[in-house]
Amino acid sequence: MSTSKTITFTLFIATLLSSCDAATNATSQPLFPAILIFGDSTVDTGNNNYHSQTIFKAKHLPYGIDLPNHKASGRFTNGKIFSDIIATKLNIKQFVPPFLQPNLSDQEIVTGVCFASAGAGYDDHTSLSTQAIRVLDQQKMFKNYIARLKSIVGDKKAMEIIKNALVVISAGPNDFILNYYDIPSRRLEFPHISGYQDFVLQRLDNFVRELYSLGCRKIMVGGLPPMGCLPIQMTAKFRNALRFCLEQENRDSVLYNQKLQNLLPQIEASLTGSKILYSNVYDPMMDMMQNPSKYGFKETKRGCCGTGHLETSFMCNAFSPTCRNHSEFLFFDSIHPSEATYNYMGNFLDTQIRVWLSLRLKS
C-alpha cells in the first residue's frame, strides 16, 4: 500500500472508530435480532465436527486452547473467531454455535447460528476435493433452520427475524488455493485468473440471490485477504527462503475485491429492500503485516503451530509445539489468523457495520 493510501486508510479507521464509539454509547440493545453465518473455515464455529465426511476439522488441541474452557470447539484458531467477536459487539451473543451441533436450545436458534464449513468455497469443485459442506448444502441447512425457527416463534415472527438478521458470508480463498494456485484444476477451463474470478463471483451472486429469496435482507459479504501473504502460500512457492509475500496473488486478490465491490451494489439495486455491505478484510490485514508492532505482533510470516509453514487442521495437533505468546503471532496455523488478529478484524468489521447502519438509517 502506498504512503498516501496508508494515511487515507488510517484516517478512515479513525473516523469510523469515533462513529462506532458514539453508536455504542447510544444503545446496548442488540443491533440485529440474530446473526446467520455462511462460508468456510474463517467462520466455521464447528459444523465440520458433526459431519463425518469432511477432511478439515479443528476439534483437537491446540485449537481452542485460549477459549474459556481451554477445549477445541471446531474453530480454526486458538480462541474466538471474528464472527463471535462481531456477535458479541453487536450484543447478540458471546459465541455463535454451529447449526449441526446436537441439542441446540430454542434461544440459540432464535438468536442465530453458523452454517459454514471449513474447506468450502463458492465453486463446487472446492468442496469435492475437501468433502466440506458445499455452499449449496449450507442453503439447505438454512431451510431446515427456518423450519425449526418457525416451530419456535411462528411463521410471521420467524420471517421477521430473518429479514432483520445480520447475514455474514465469508468464502473465496479455498476456491483459488485449491482450484487455481496450488492445485490448478480450473486452469484449463480458465487460463486467465480474471476468468476464474468472474466464475466465482457469478456463483457468489447466485448464492446471495438465493438467500434473498429465503427472506434475508441485511447481508455482509467478505472480500479476499492478501492471499499471497498466507504462510502456506509462501511455503508453496519454492525458493522463497526469505518468505516474501507473493505479490501476484496479492494483486489477484485486489482485482477480485474491486470486482466484488462493483458487483454488490448491482445485486442490491436488483433486490428490493436488500442492504448489502462489502466487508473489507484485505486492507486491515495488510496493515497488520506492514505495521506489526502497532498491533503487538512479532511474527507475521509463519503460524504459531508447529513450524508455522505448513501445519493446519490435522497437521496442527496436540503433538505440535506452539509459540509461547499466541497474541504475538498474526497467524495461529499456516492459514488461519490468531484470536488476536480476529479481535482486530472483529473491531474493524463491527465499525463498518455500525457506520453502514447509521448511513442506511439516514438515507
Q: Is residue 192 annotated as a catalytic residue, yes or no? A: no
The separation between the first and the last C-alpha atoms of the chain, rounded to the nearest angstrom, is 32
Q: Which residue has the cell 495461529?
A: 332
Helices of type H across the chain: 3-26, 82-89, 106-111, 124-130, 135-153, 155-164, 173-176, 193-213, 231-236, 247-270, 282-290, 339-362
Given 83, 336, 338, 350, which residue is catalytic? Answer: 336
Residue type, 172: G
Q: Is residue 41 annotated as a catalytic residue, yes or no? A: yes
Given 84, 123, 287, 333, which residue is catalytic? Answer: 333
169 membership: H or E segment, kind and range: strand 166-170
Q: What is the CA radius of gyration of the chain?
A: 19
Given 40, 41, 83, 338, which residue is catalytic? Answer: 41
Q: How far apart are CA 46 and CA 339, in angstroms?
A: 16
Phi-psi domain of 213 (left: phi exceeds 0; alpha: psi -120 through 50; beta: other): alpha
Q: Is residue 125 annotated as a catalytic residue, yes or no? A: no
Strands 166-170 and 299-303, sheet pairing: unpaired
- Catalytic positions are 41, 333, 336
